[in-house]
Structure 1
Amino acid sequence: MQAYNFRELSPLDDGDVRLLKLHCGPRDAELEGNLVQRCLLPQKKVKTKRLGSQIVAIPSPESYDALSYTWGDDWPKGQEKHIKILVQSEVYIIRIRKNLFHALQQLRDESKSIYLWVDALCINQENGDEKSQQIQRMYLIYNKADQVRVWLGEEDNKSSEAIKFVTKCLNLDDFDRLVQATPTSGSWDALSTLMRRPWFNRRWIIQEISLARDATLHCGKETLPWRDFADCVSLLYHKRQDLKRLFRESPTFSNHPDYLGELTELGAIRLVYASDNLFRKSEHGEITDRLLSLEALMSSLTAFDASDPHDIVYAILWLAKDAKPYTTRERSPISFGPRQSYESPTDEIRSPITPLLKRVTWEENATPLTMDGPSRIDYNFFQLPDMRKTQSPPSSPKSRDEVQPAVKDTEKGKERLAKTQVVSSRIIVDYNADIFEVCSEFLKFVFDRSHSLDILCRPWAPNEPKLPSWIPQLANKPFGISQHGVHRRVNADPLVGTPGYSVVTYKASNATLARELRMRDKKLFVKGFVLDRIKEKSATATGGIIPCEWTDIGGWKTLDDYPPERFWRTLVGNRDLHSQRPPSHWKRVCREAFQRRPHRGDLNTTEAVMYDCPSAVREYLERVQCVVWSRRLILLGEQEDSLGLAPRTAKKGDEICILFGCSVPVVLRKYIDGVPARKYRKNDSNRGKNESRVDRNEPEVYYEFIGECYVHGMMDGEAFEVRKVDKSRHQEFELR
């Protein structure tokens, strides 16, 4: 036997895939199989291929299943396992990892061969071009499979009990009792442990499950239909408050109401919700329509990780209604079936506000990022008129009818409104690309459609230290996983919300749109104006604990009085849990919450929410946690009585800016010749670093993007009136 060399595999043409024909045998026997090449796409004629001097037919795939699993750890040295691959009279071996080995052992039939699609075996992982091409095929591979077989791993940590408990939960006559009876807490713990298995956190599984016509979970020897598991998870989600009470009454789990962590952030729960809400499907499981944009998907699926940073973007392209993946060597996209969003016969889409668009060219010294060969994406940046009466977000389809353009009724204006602009839907899938290229192209794609900068305030990008400050990384997402595998809040929610899932909460930029955007190297050029600077900052609300000094900064002298309007409203971002104006009784509730803290002590919002407190206080503090967690309370320098919330990394002297196209104010840190502006001196020796500059009278100025912020009284366009903003006050910010 010899090791199998993937480089000797025949290249795959358009529509071709490889399948593993797994030979039958008892569970403990050696794994054997063949790799067979099949044509996945429907063909009007029999597809053929030249092999040497012969023309042979490429058969359509047999009935097959697709495997969904995690690669996991490799074997310890000296204990490696393999599968035998038979090629005519030769026998080759392929080393496989532990998790795949156990999966193939368990799934193998004892009496007949079965066909499986397994990424580690059916894709040449050493060939970047083939990987990029075959990644495109995964939509069809999983949607055309008879079923998707999900391998969660070997039996462990009461996994068998958890799967059997799912069946009990589906008896609706007993379900209410199961979430109230203290003895069942052990079974709920077993189920939550199963739901925290690594498979549920993979980003690729979203499409693997969402596209499946049918799916089955496998864990050790136990099996469970996906639909049964999904229904149980949905029931659990709607009873999460009951489960908190159950664990609070359970001595076995130390009477800890938050023992299971934040259930809404569990990958299993997010996956069930996503699989039911990403598409419209026919009765036969075929995709008839995609419902969410790529921006909405990227902003809402932060609970799912990817081992390859490219997959933060690539793993969800096929789920979006407005994106078409391409490979570098293949200029035709894979067919996705009906797409209502594609209005052009050339597979391009028209932006909802395209009648208002006017093409502008890149500046000579600001050419877009390119790669060898064709451009990786169509760069369409636009100059738009001010639109300050918008009643819905620019990206919303409703804005087509609601936007009132600021164009005079002249022949020139009418001609301008009559023009339309086609926006490309293409994104290149290229695993050889630098991760900055992948991220910046995603942002250009978003800017083309939404003309909004809100995506700069949502964590979505892989954690890469070399990315510029204006690409927000997943390290700053609201929830993280503890060492015990449960989800805990680590940051506040983004103030800008999630597109496609919520209404626009704020309109700090007065519904203007991002225009005249430029990108050069790793710099982003945006326009706006400076509102104010940070005059004073407090300690951070780490862990949701509000420092006692916040009441002093907020001007609340004695807790016997009601809190100042600006203080209690700032703590909740002047919105309730549904993004509406908060109820008036929250002023009283705020006083009640702070009166429960130790005298002159900090307010621990987590303990107040988890343990006995009135429901009105709990509701208020739950909203407070969404807004203040890991943020600072700030006072601004020029605006009287101006109070706000800023990221924990904000410092005195940082500028509060309104960027056109961003629904909330942002904190920017100004640098002059590489020195923070607050420390800069005109004759600073640091200026010597830039002796190559042509004009030494104009120092190099740029900004670091610190993050979004809340400024009370400035969240709905008031800044334009306060600053008497006209074009003379506009400036361009170079973000690095």
Structure 2
Amino acid sequence: MAPQEKSFPERAIRSNVLRFDDPSYAEIEEYKFDPLPSSKKRIRLLQLDGNTLHSPSIHCKLVEADYDNTFHIPTRAISENSEDLRRYRNELRQITDPDERLKKQYAWVDDKKMTYEALSWCWGKDDPKHAVIIDRAGVYYKMAVRRDLALALKYLRHPNKVRTLWIDAICIDQANSEERNQQVQMMSRIYTRSSNVCIWLGEDTDEDERAINFIREEITHLKNFDAISSDEKYSEKWHALMMLMQREWFSRRWVVQEISLAKRAQIYCGPHFIPWKEFAVAVELFVEVETATHRLSEVMWKDKKFQHVPGMFEYVSELGASLLVQATGKVFRAHKTPMDDHDHDNETPEDIVGWIKEVHTIDPLDRRSLLSLEYLVTTMFIFRATECRDSIYSMLAIARDAAPFADPNRSVDDVSLTMTLFDSFLAEKPFQVDYARPYSDVCRDFVEFCIRRTHAREPVQALDILCRPWALEPPQGRSVRLPADSSIKKQQEERLKPKRTSPWSKRQCKPLWNSVERKWTHNKNDDDEWVPDRRDMEDYWYENSKKEAETLIDPSWMYLSPVNGRDRWKNPIGWGRVRKLVTVSAKRGPVLQELPKDRRQDIDLPSWVCRAKKAPFELYAHPGMHIKKTGRANANPLVGEPKDGHRNYSAAQTKGVTLESSVGLKFRKRPYAGHYSLYVRGFVIDTVETVAEASQGGNIPRSWLEMGGWEPPYDKDPPGELWRTLVADRGIENRNPPSYYARACKESVNRGGIASGRVNTTALINNERNSIIAEFCRRVHAVIWGRSMFRTTSGKLGISASDVKVGDNICILYGCTVPVVLSVENKDYKQREEDKFEDRFEAFKSCFQRLERIMVRKYRYNTKKLEHPTWEAEVKAGTNKVNEDLKADRKRKKEMSDARERYRREDDEQRTGNRPEDELETQQSNGPVRRGKRARSLDHLPRDMPPDFRLDANPTASEREDQDGDASRYYTFKGESYVHGFMDGEALRAKFYKEKGAEDRVFELR
């Protein structure tokens, strides 16, 4: 590592950067971006001119780099008309050996490779009021940037040479939403291929310098580590380290991706810097010591300089810095990580070819994603984002089951086209990145994505996403990533229009009267004249709308005899429904016009989107401390983290969610009514009868003990249902609770100040000095914090969200591992009719949108054929190959299914004693039996089916209504619950024996 400077200019000089409105910049025009070519994977790079910390001005250039090569290595942008490029392509065509061809490609790329570093910084909320000067071909322009970014550039520039950086705020045209969507899709390449990620924490303080020196000189050397983690004289240094770990940069969502993808990283804080790997080691040691022994909190508690505050480092493991260090080891399985020393600068073409053939990847770190998108989004709640959509988009590049996918309506590259066509066969499903998309739709996309991906592995856990907090609060107005003065709707409309260089044309053909069929037809001939059609869409629809009343001819309308000298036309099939739709729309027009404008842009998030504000931990101010620290804000989700092959409970047993739209999962958005509905299947098993007060700060109210059937003087062990409910019948790491929890509960009540009306569990943890009681109370915190206790009509004891009320339903949803609480709301006749109308309108609109996509795709397909004559044949050949593979795969699966069916039948025959010859003898005695396809498909059903089982596949009218739920009511999702005696399949058994009221139904959740 290069030695750091020991002396720097005064902080006032270092902090001086020129503003955008500085008088010296008055004559300089503002910089305007040239659009990047949509047909290429191209980025901009910033070349930062060298200077010292004394100069307040910042000068740079913007250059373009291409990623359009096999190795995803950035190269200098070269014109398609370049003589060098033509010569290279001709030489490449003459090489037939694949290895030699790959070597030639790498040699070409390596010769034009551009090396750069990526800047990772915190945007903040201040306005861009400072300036950087951009040199474009000798002409200077100014660009407005935020102060923190200007300072980063000032500190990072070299004294005497250029430093090349990629910076999102400068290298991406933030006013161009389409470009931003495309660049987000490329983010993984940008950070993976950067030589280094520069982490800018901001300007330094004295404590920052103390923390960095503490890491470099003492912690990471592990000399006398036990002494420095238990001696009071090191308390200020540990405090400084925690302050450094709470820098705003560590709370950004994007940093998880940026650090996980980096080959190497370096932290900069003012003029001080330290390698990421040294910082990570220090954080891991900090967390390990505090979590295992709470020794460091004891040291801080003894030091009078910190006011004897207990538990100062209690939840240090939940800080963003701690989670980020953990993430660098959990996100990927890699041969090389930012913690390793490695160098790729001396690789030869032979090395690269051998590497690709060995590991079958172009990723220089040979990484394999380990975590699902659902896991990343729902467990990284401590990280914030300026743009709420980034809570999802920032995790796409590092998820194992998702990949960022920009708007497919733009010109797409081969990778995007492949993702579109083969979506169902990809391990990493494309997730569309679109900052112009309404936030409610982005949330719905994520929920549906999680449900479908989990359903493929564990259908019984697919709906657990409804119980995991993740969604940031919706923004007011449009995305902060979009230009404030643009019309998003207009941009979308223009984007979808095919680019025409000539006007539309229409055929000039003569109408003919068909006396047999009594209707007008058009006589179309090849020699008909085509004339330009310069009508706009408004004129086109206006003229067509007159055809019913006037004599303009439309071949789809049948001519009838005239009445009172006026021609009559027979309406086409289905016209009545169209007229009704238009009539209802006209009648309701004034009502819809009265809706507020912001409602037209988006709707409120539905109750089935779990908010991030319900997350277990948050960063906030604590009594006796002048800094914020991580503390508990809510209870832990009962469903736990999304882990493969593991679940905390099994309330629905093997009943998983059904994805077929006719009987299972459905989403319906009704923008004008202002709600988003999710339809799921399940049943009501109980109803809330009484509710006790909510737990405040994790304390146990006295009323809970009374509701649990435990009476004073509390000298006996508590009832089993009470103490098990307090810990949700689980212990540490969601294992079965140890039996000593009952005794720990009794001791906690007797020592926790029950005379004051509640058991102070926090005081027990900090002051009792009893590890068993502390363990029990921490588990109680994780379960009851902010929740209420209730009793049901059947006498079950449970806990749920603080807003649970008497009369709420306790329900089992198929695909959810815990019971949920739903409150029912009735819909009047007007609401039901409005829902029906809007559903029809949305279906009508979706048909047009689908047709629009088909037309755009067809236009681009035809354009591609004209540009590349051999392309169509190549596509057809590839499609035929895929179809053959799919056909063979289906045949193989059918053979396996038939083999399993034969095995099952043979097993049934052995168990029941029915022999094939007995069945044949019976058939011969009763005459030939014709077994249709429907009958054969029922062979797998048990022989003792109930008498009311119907064989007909077509549902009745009542069944069709049940598929959409009860139209007279809807439900609000209040959250998950623990109901003692309903957590491991008991509810299904109770439903089986319950005579009435527990039938399966479809719930409409809003």
Q: Give the TM-score of the pair, scaled to structure 2.
A: 0.61
- Please give the secondary structure, in 1, of the residue aligned with 2:278: helix
Distance 1:599 1:317, change over 3 A: closer
Deviation per CA, 1:609-655, whole angstroms, max 9, x where unpaired? 12233111111111111101101111011x23x11001001111100
- 2:347 pairs with 1:209: no
- 1:620 pairs, out of 763, 766, 776, with 776
**What is the CA–CA distance in structure 2 between the aligned matches of 1:208 and 1:334, rounded to whole Å?**
22
CA shift, 1:4, in A, is 3.3
**What is the Cα-based RMSD across aligned positions, in Å?**
2.8
Aligned twin of 2:668: 520
Deviation per CA, 1:120-147, whole angstroms, max 9, x where unpaired? 1100000000000011111111111110
Deviation per CA, 1:345-381, whole angstroms, max 9, x where unpaired? 976566xxxxxxxxxxxxxxxxxxxxxxxxxxxxxxx
- 1:218 pairs, out of 259, 268, 275, with 268
Aligned twin of 1:147: 196
- The aligned amino acid for 2:381 is T
Aligned twin of 1:408: none
- 1:238 pairs, out of 282, 288, 292, with 288
- The aligned amino acid for 2:196 is Q
Distance 1:424 1:599, change over 3 A: closer
CA shift, 1:718, in A, is 0.5
- The aligned amino acid for 1:539 is E
Aligned twin of 1:34: 61
Aligned twin of 2:787: 631
**What is the CA–CA distance in structure 2 between the aligned matches of 1:694 and 1:298, rounded to whole Å?**
35
Aligned twin of 2:167: 118
CA shift, 1:688, in A, is 6.8
**What is the CA–CA distance in structure 1 between the aligned matches of 2:144 and 2:388, rounded to whole Å?**
25
- 2:625 pairs with 1:503: no
**What is the CA–CA distance in structure 2 between the aligned matches of 1:689 and 1:274, rounded to whole Å?**
47
**What is the CA–CA distance in structure 1 between the aligned matches of 2:787 and 2:30, rounded to whole Å?**
54
Distance 1:334 1:248, change over 3 A: farther
Deviates more, 1:287-296 or 1:562-571: 287-296
What residue ranges of structure 1 are gaps of 5+ in the alignment? 336-341, 351-421, 675-686
CA shift, 1:444, in A, is 1.4
Distance 1:140 1:60, change over 3 A: farther
- 2:114 pairs, out of 59, 62, 78, with 62
- The aligned amino acid for 1:221 is P
Contact 1:157 1:190 in 2 (8 A): no
Contact 2:31 2:142 in 1 (8 A): no
CA shift, 1:485, in A, is 2.4
**What is the CA–CA distance in structure 2 between the aligned matches of 1:428 and 1:491, rounded to whole Å?**
32
- The aligned amino acid for 2:308 is N
**What is the CA–CA distance in structure 2 between the aligned matches of 1:694 and 1:440, rounded to whole Å?**
21
- 2:465 pairs, out of 455, 472, 494, with 455
Contact 1:159 1:194 in 2 (8 A): yes
Higher helix share: 2
Aligned twin of 1:292: 371
- 2:224 pairs, out of 169, 174, 178, with 174
- Please give the secondary structure, in 1, of the residue aligned with 2:142: strand
- 1:572 pairs, out of 727, 748, 762, with 727
Aligned twin of 1:390: none
**What is the CA–CA distance in structure 1 between the aligned matches of 2:614 and 2:835, rounded to whole Å?**
36
Contact 1:326 1:333 in 2 (8 A): no
**What is the CA–CA distance in structure 2 between the aligned matches of 1:12 and 1:21, rounded to whole Å?**
23
- 2:617 pairs with 1:479: yes
Contact 2:36 2:42 in 1 (8 A): no
- The aligned amino acid for 1:441 is D
Distance 1:90 1:667, change over 3 A: same
Higher strand share: 1
Q: Give the TM-score of the pair, scaled to structure 1.
A: 0.82
Aligned twin of 1:265: 318
- Please give the secondary structure, in 2, of the residue aligned with 1:578: helix
CA shift, 1:60, in A, is 4.3
Contact 2:702 2:754 in 1 (8 A): no
Structure with larger Rg:
2
- 1:717 pairs, out of 945, 966, 985, with 985
**What is the CA–CA distance in structure 1 between the aligned matches of 2:257 and 2:430, rounded to whole Å?**
19
Aligned twin of 1:529: 683
CA shift, 1:89, in A, is 2.2
CA shift, 1:88, in A, is 1.1
Deviates more, 1:310-319 or 1:464-473: 464-473
- Between the two proteins, what is the percent identity of the paired residues? 34
Contact 2:118 2:198 in 1 (8 A): yes
Distance 1:502 1:172, change over 3 A: farther
Distance 1:346 1:520, change over 3 A: closer
What residue ranges of structure 2 are gaps of 5+ in the alignment? 1-26, 86-108, 337-341, 343-363, 456-461, 475-602, 622-626, 659-663, 670-675, 838-960
- 2:320 pairs with 1:164: no
**What is the CA–CA distance in structure 1 between the aligned matches of 2:834 and 2:315, rounded to whole Å?**
54
**What is the CA–CA distance in structure 1 between the aligned matches of 2:310 and 2:302, rounded to whole Å?**
8
- Please give the secondary structure, in 1, of the residue aligned with 2:763: helix
Aligned twin of 1:667: 821
Aligned twin of 1:276: 329
**What is the CA–CA distance in structure 2 between the aligned matches of 1:298 and 1:132, rounded to whole Å?**
19
Contact 2:685 2:998 in 1 (8 A): no
CA shift, 1:332, in A, is 4.8
Aligned twin of 1:437: 441
Distance 1:85 1:569, change over 3 A: same
**What is the CA–CA distance in structure 2 between the aligned matches of 1:574 and 1:423, rounded to whole Å?**
36
Deviates more, 1:31-40 or 1:475-484: 475-484
Contact 2:66 2:77 in 1 (8 A): no
Distance 1:579 1:592, change over 3 A: same
Distance 1:691 1:152, change over 3 A: closer
**What is the CA–CA distance in structure 2 between the aligned matches of 1:330 and 1:523, rounded to whole Å?**
33
Aligned twin of 1:130: 179
Aligned twin of 2:907: none
Contact 2:682 2:811 in 1 (8 A): yes
- Please give the secondary structure, in 2, of the residue aligned with 1:37: strand
- Please give the secondary structure, in 2, of the residue aligned with 1:280: strand
CA shift, 1:288, in A, is 2.4
- The aligned amino acid for 1:710 is Y
Distance 1:346 1:122, change over 3 A: same
Contact 2:65 2:77 in 1 (8 A): no
Deviation per CA, 1:378-432, whole angstroms, max 9, x where unpaired? xxxxxxxxxxxxxxxxxxxxxxxxxxxxxxxxxxxxxxxxxxxx88811111111
Aligned twin of 1:735: 1005
Deviates more, 1:700-709 or 1:167-176: 167-176
Distance 1:106 1:725, change over 3 A: farther
Aligned twin of 1:428: 432
**What is the CA–CA distance in structure 2 between the aligned matches of 1:205 and 1:288, rounded to whole Å?**
18
Contact 2:684 2:998 in 1 (8 A): no
Aligned twin of 1:583: 738
Distance 1:144 1:689, change over 3 A: closer
**What is the CA–CA distance in structure 1 between the aligned matches of 2:650 and 2:718, rounded to whole Å?**
26
Contact 1:631 1:647 in 2 (8 A): yes
Deviates more, 1:606-615 or 1:546-555: 606-615
**What is the CA–CA distance in structure 2 between the aligned matches of 1:261 and 1:99, rounded to whole Å?**
31
- Please give the secondary structure, in 1, of the residue aligned with 2:755: coil
CA shift, 1:731, in A, is 0.3
Contact 1:508 1:658 in 2 (8 A): yes
Q: How many residue pairs were aligned?
A: 639
- Please give the secondary structure, in 2, of the residue aligned with 1:536: strand
Deviates more, 1:702-711 or 1:718-727: 718-727
